[in-house]
Amino acid sequence: MTVTVRYTCPHCGAVVSVERRPDLADRSVTTIPQPGWEYATPDGAVEEADGIEFLCGEDGPVTDLEGDPVEGCGRPFYLNFVRYEQGVELEPDPPTYGGPRFDFRG
DSSP state of 75: -
- Please provide the average confidence, as pLDDT, over all residues in the chain: 83
Looking at residue 90, what is its pLDDT?
67
- Per DSSP (E only), the strands in 9-99 are 15-20, 26-30, 39-40, 51-55, 62-63, 69-70, 76-81, 83-85, 88-90
Looking at residue 2, what is its pLDDT?
87
Confidence label for 100 from pLDDT (cuts 50, 70 and 90) = very low
pTM for the structure as a whole:
0.78
pLDDT tens for 48-86 read 899 999 999 998 889 998 889 999 999 999 999 887 777
Sorted by sequence, the CB contacts under 8 Å of residue 35 that are 6+ apart come out as: 93, 94
**CA dihedral angle for residue 66, residue 18, residue 61, residue 9, rounded to 10 degrees:** 70
As a whole number of Å, the CA-based R_g of the chain is: 13
Looking at residue 38, what is its pLDDT?
93
